[in-house]
Structure 1
């Protein structure tokens, strides 16, 4: 079987360009479409395609085609793990259309070719991790030199405070919270007195207790 995996991160984004590329690659391809974030691999359709114990989905000898590596995911540590699982555990192949060196289908019986594909993936993973590390360092350095106003770091560029805004608690919050925690009133009664929805009430509780 030949599977195409097309992914965008949000429901507002369009899959059309990827679908056209996959159909142009082969008329026999079975395309799996998904609109989920690429931050990890906890995606329903991807899991059904790759991590499925039933007699369906990717199997030995099958080919998984993606338009670009970031359609598979954006976390390169996890990409390496998935790549290894697909190619070595499932014994399937992967082809990345915009990066010809990442194509295990032409190197499955070629040790040099498979080595090159694995090496390219390692280099990409290393480069992505270094970029994340450098970005974190630059952010930390920038935050370190920011002025402090009212106990909060303030951006020199925008003048706005950074980080999560302080939670705003309704009047009588401390009193009602204490009565609730002491068991004198129920959570429902506390919400009614404070005129808060259930989700907002427990969000403030979590923030307050933190």
Structure 2
């Protein structure tokens, strides 16, 4: 299918010329819209772009109908190219169904890549200058030390034997953010040391204890298991957390050992 798009900025303008040019080109369907060019959202054009299928052709009478500036046009060209949709801009003689048109896409893609590279370079230079002046603070953290969700997650990790996945599901904190914050606490603040890794199975009433770092023990009915001894080890939950009674376990918070100076 060949689709034509015609746009005017205000109602006192006329679409007649664009429509006639598109009809003479031989489009199958014409979509018209009255909206200013500086508007980022063009509903009818957006809907048309979403409905296009591979090997369809989109026709504009002029370049400014396709994009207000070079950046918008580059973005459109890249999108259509990725989706294997042809582009025709009549007043520029651009037709990506031809070898010349494909060459135009190559040039436009190169310009787009150059533009992105220059933006990144300016960003790096700006960050370097800000760091030199002591003004750069980096990206603002989403989870600060005062964030209730993160604090709740840390508290659950310290006082329960829930898995990280369970904790993050309860608190709404992402696992990546939690691990990052937990790693910071490990380095800067206190950590938990298990003194007695002991639990009772609520199903068979069996009491099990893991005394060594690689000691794996299971209760009689196989509902619960412990993995780890007196080092900081997490517990393995074969079934539900509700099957465990951890009142027999003991742990304490300790200060991490200071790093040795080289």
TM, length-normalised to structure 1: 0.49
Q: Which has the higher Rg, Structure 1 or Structure 2?
A: 2
- Structure with the larger RCO, 1 or 2 (CA within 8 Å, 6+ apart): 1
Structure with higher helix content:
1
Structure with higher strand content:
2
